[in-house]
Structure 1
C-alpha cells in the first residue's frame, strides 16, 4: 500500500514538473545561437556564388545560371535529406552533409578562379546545393518533436505557435543578414571571402547543431524507431499547396532584392539596396514574432488570406514607385505582410506533416523557398538588364498574387484542416 502511494506521488510530481517545464528547459540556452548561425551558410551560398562568379567572369548570365544550379541542387536533395533524417535521425545525416558542404564551399573559389569550363562550374554549384544543410527546416522539425515528446499537452499548441513564429522570424533575419554579410565581406575583403566564411560556418556550426543533445529526442522518448507514414503521404494536396505558396514567397524575396538592386543602381546609389531590403526584413521579422499575439479564432487559413493580400497590395504599389521615399513606404508595408504569411505557412506545415515526416515536410518547404529565390533572382536580373527596371519591379507583385491565389485554394479545398 505504501509503495502504491509513493508511486502515485512520484507520478503526480512528474506531471507537475512536466507542466511547469518550458521548451528551453529541454533545449538549453546554447541551442538557439547555434541553430541560428547554422542557417547562415544556407542564406549566404546562393547570393555568394552569384557575386563571386560575376566578379571573376564578368558574366551576369553565368552568375545567374550558377546561382540557379545551387537552388536546383537544394530542391532535388532537400526532400531526400529530410527522408533520411526521418529514418536515421539528424546526427547521422547532418554531420556528413555539413562537412561535405563546407569542403565544397571552400573549394568553390579555387574552381571559379582556375578558368575551368562552364559545365564544371555549374556542376560544382549543383554539388553545393545538393549538400546544403537545411538547418532551419531541421530546427523546426527538432523543436516540434521536442514539443510533442516532452511538453505537457496543455502547453503544446501555444508553444508550437510561438516556435513557428520564432523560426520564421529567424529565417527572415537570416535571409536579410546573409546577403548583407555577402555584400560587406565582398566589399571589405574580396569576392571569395563570403563563400570562404560560409564554408567555415558550415563546418563549425552545422556540425555543432548536428551534435547538439536535442538531436537525440524522439517522439515517445524511447530508443525504438517511431511510427512513420509512407513518403507519398508528404505529397498530399494539403501539403503541396503549402509548398506552392512557399515557392511563391521565395519568388517574392528573390525578385524584391534583385529589382531593388536594379532600382538603386538606376538611381545612382546601388549601396542603398541592402539597407532598404533590410528595412523590409526587420519589419517582417518583428511582425512574424507578433503573430503569437493574434487570437486563436483568427484561423490560420484566414491569416494567410489577409496577410497575403497586404503583401500583394504593397507589391503593386512598389512596382509603381519612382523614388526612394515611395519605395521605403511600400517595402515597410510588404514587411507587415510577408513575415506573418511565412509563419502561417510553416505553422500549417507543422500541423499537416504526416506522422514521422516532419523533417521531410519542412525540408520540402525550405527547398521550395531557396529554389524560388535563386530562379527569381536570375530571371529578375535578366528583366532588369534586357527589358527594364520597371518590368523587374513587377515580379514581386506577381509572386505575392500567387501566394494569395494559393491561399484561396487552401481556404476552398482544405478548410477542414485550418
Structure 2
C-alpha cells in the first residue's frame, strides 16, 4: 500500500467525524476555552508565593481547595445541566468565575482558601460540557475519533496555558495575571453560551425530563470506568512530579520543558493513532498498559534525552486512555443523565491528578526519584486488576447472550 493510500485510510475516520455539523466549531472553542482554565493552578501558585509571601505548601492548599470544590461541584453542575439546560448553568458559573477572579487579588490568605473552594465547586464546566456535547451530536460509530480530537485538544491547552501563565507572571505580575486569567475564563463561558452546543441528540426530545434512578445507570461497569479514569490521571500526575525530580537530581532541571514537551507530543501522536483505528480499545486495557509503561521510566538513566525516550511509550498512551474513558461514559450513561455522568468522570479525572502528584512527591522524598514512577505506575495497574472481574463478567455475559438460542413464540393452542 502506498504512503498516500495509508494516509487516506488513517484520515478517513477524522473526516467522517469532522463532517458532523457543529463539531469543528465546538473543538476550536474547546481549545481556546481550556487555555485559561489550564493556567489557573500555576497562576494561583505564583500569586500566593510572590504576592502573599507564603510558601509552596500554602499555595498547594489553595490548589487543593479548588480541586476538592471541582470534584464535588462537577456532578452537581452536570445534573443541573440535565434538568435545566446548558445556558442557565453557564450564566451561573460565569458569574461565579467573574466574582472570584476580580476579588481574589484583594483577599487575604485565610479568605482566599474558602473562596477557592467555592470557585472550584462553581467552576465553568468546559471539560464535561464539551464531552457531553460530543456524545449528543456525534453518532456512536464516529465518537472514537471525535473523542480522540477532544483529548488532543486538551493536550494542546495544557501545553499552552501553564507556559503562557508563567510568561505573563514574569513579564507583568501575578496579580495582573489573575485578572487576565479570569477574563479569559469568563470569555470562554460567553463563547460557549453563544455557541450553545446540543446536550441531547437529535433523536432525543429536548424537553425530555424523565428521571432515571442512579441505581439504573451507575452500574458496576460505569464505576469501573470511573475508577480507571482516576487511576490513569493518578499515573499522569505522579509522572509530572517524578520527571521534575529526576531532572533536578541529575542537575538537568533546565531541560524540564523539553522533556515534558516530548511527553505531550507523544500523547498527541498516540491520540491521533487511537482515533484512526477501526476497533474500540478498552479504557481498562489502556490504563493497565499506561501503568506498566510508567513503572520502568525512572530506569531510563539520569540524562534528559534518555528520560525522553523512556517517556514515549507511556506518553503515547495518555490521550488514548482519556479518550477511551470519555467514550465509554458517553455510551454507558442514558441521555437523561449524561451531564451528571460526565461530571462524575470529570471529578474522577480531577481526583486522580490531585492524588498522583502529592503521592509521587511523598514517595520521592522518602526514597529516590525513580520510585515516583514505580509506585504511581504500579498503583494505576493495580486498580485495573481490581476492576478486571467486572469487565470479564460483562464479556462472559455477552458471549452467553450471543450463543443463546433465540426465544420462539409459543404458538401451541391454549387448552381449556
TM-score clears 0.5: yes
Question: Do the aligned partners of 1:103 and 1:199 also contact (CA within 8 Å) in 2?
Answer: no
Q: Are 1:362 and 2:342 an aligned pair? A: yes
Trace 1:381-396 onto structure 2 (pairs within 5 A).
Answer: 381-385=361-365, 388-396=368-376
Q: Are 1:352 and 2:340 an aligned pair? A: no
In the aligned structure 2, how far is the partner of 1:134 from the partner of 1:385? 35
Shift of residue 90, structure 1, vs aligned partner: 0.9
1:101 pairs with one of 97, 101, 112: 97
Question: Do the aligned partners of 1:181 and 1:194 also contact (CA within 8 Å) in 2?
Answer: no
Which residue does 1:199 correspond to in 2?
A: 182
Trace 1:287-306 onto structure 2 (pairs within 5 A).
Answer: 287-296=270-279, 299-301=280-282, 304-305=284-285
In the aligned structure 2, how far is the partner of 1:407 from the partner of 1:169? 27
SS at match of 1:268: coil
Trace 1:199-218 onto structure 2 (pairs within 5 A).
Answer: 199-215=182-198
1:343 pairs with one of 323, 328, 336: 323
Range 87-96 or range 33-42, more displaced = 33-42
Trace 1:132-281 onto structure 2 (pairs within 5 A).
Answer: 132-147=123-138, 156-215=139-198, 219-220=202-203, 222-281=205-264
In the aligned structure 2, how far is the partner of 1:269 from the partner of 1:51? 23
**CA 1:222–1:53 in structure 2 vs 1: closer, same or farther (change >3 Å)?**
same
Q: Are 1:397 and 2:377 an aligned pair? A: yes
Which residue does 2:65 correspond to in 1?
A: 69
Question: Do the aligned partners of 1:244 and 1:406 also contact (CA within 8 Å) in 2?
Answer: no
Question: Do the aligned partners of 1:318 and 1:326 also contact (CA within 8 Å) in 2?
Answer: no
Q: TM-score, normalised by structure 1?
A: 0.81
**CA 1:256–1:190 in structure 2 vs 1: closer, same or farther (change >3 Å)?**
farther
Question: Do the aligned partners of 2:231 and 2:383 also contact (CA within 8 Å) in 1?
Answer: yes
In the aligned structure 2, how far is the partner of 1:191 from the partner of 1:414? 51
Shift of residue 410, structure 1, vs aligned partner: 4.4
In the aligned structure 2, how far is the partner of 1:43 from the partner of 1:402? 29
Shift of residue 88, structure 1, vs aligned partner: 0.9
Which residue does 1:12 correspond to in 2?
A: none
1:89 pairs with one of 78, 85, 90: 85
SS at match of 1:220: coil
Moved segments of 4+, more than 6 Å = none
Which residue does 2:410 correspond to in 1?
A: none
Which residue does 2:297 correspond to in 1?
A: 318
Q: Are 1:327 and 2:307 an aligned pair? A: yes
Q: Are 1:372 and 2:368 an aligned pair? A: no
Shift of residue 232, structure 1, vs aligned partner: 4.3
Range 398-407 or range 330-339, more displaced = 398-407
Shift of residue 228, structure 1, vs aligned partner: 4.6
In the aligned structure 1, how far is the partner of 2:398 from the partner of 2:154? 25
Question: Do the aligned partners of 1:66 and 1:121 also contact (CA within 8 Å) in 2?
Answer: yes
**1:193-244 C-alpha deviation (Å, 9 max, x unpaired):** 5533321111101221123142476543655235452344443211111111
Which residue does 1:3 correspond to in 2?
A: none
Range 58-67 or range 226-235, more displaced = 226-235
Question: Number of residue pairs matched?
Answer: 382
**CA 1:247–1:318 in structure 2 vs 1: closer, same or farther (change >3 Å)?**
same
Structure 1: tracts of 5 or more residues without a match? 1-19, 148-155
Question: Do the aligned partners of 1:105 and 1:199 also contact (CA within 8 Å) in 2?
Answer: yes
In the aligned structure 1, how far is the partner of 2:242 from the partner of 2:318? 17
Which residue does 1:150 correspond to in 2?
A: none
